[in-house]
Structure 1
């Protein structure tokens, strides 16, 4: 299960207001890439696929494909604001290594496909 904090949910809902389709949902997933082999992806989607898990949390419908679900189990997505601006943070208890720039990771069971950074 993914946890979306109140701050992250509020930011996503603000961003959703700019979307033209009222049925838009938040999609969270993992794909190969980055220095450590796996990278997070977050975006909006209106299509629910057969292989998607749909999680309702903090007023959001969150889509997670089956391939990403095990890697994202226990993840906490937050939104933090500071003097330099704001951004989403992802705390993944499954990650055993992260790249120096913080944009990719690997788990004990999935190494992904590392790329040069």
Structure 2
């Protein structure tokens, strides 16, 4: 990871923490969690700029499918955990195809 990417990641992670999200950024794992906070489109767009992240857990209540799809296409992302997912069946298939592993939590 180059210095610019490192600094950009740090700025994004500070923003995520400021709204109640969290992260683990260690040599073996880089994971971000925002399951307990319904993020907005603006923060979703910032999350898309993370580099090196392997896992993201996100509350989808207030973000569009296009923003979610952008997040799922972050280079190197291995697992996307989503809650409050309200999308059409065709979009769900697209989401599943966009990331190695998609996990939906909190379904009734």
Fold agreement, TM-score > 0.5: no
Q: Which has the higher contact order (CA 8 A, sep 6+)?
A: 1
**TM-score when normalising by structure 1:** 0.27
Bigger radius of gyration: 1
Higher helix share: 2
Higher strand share: 1
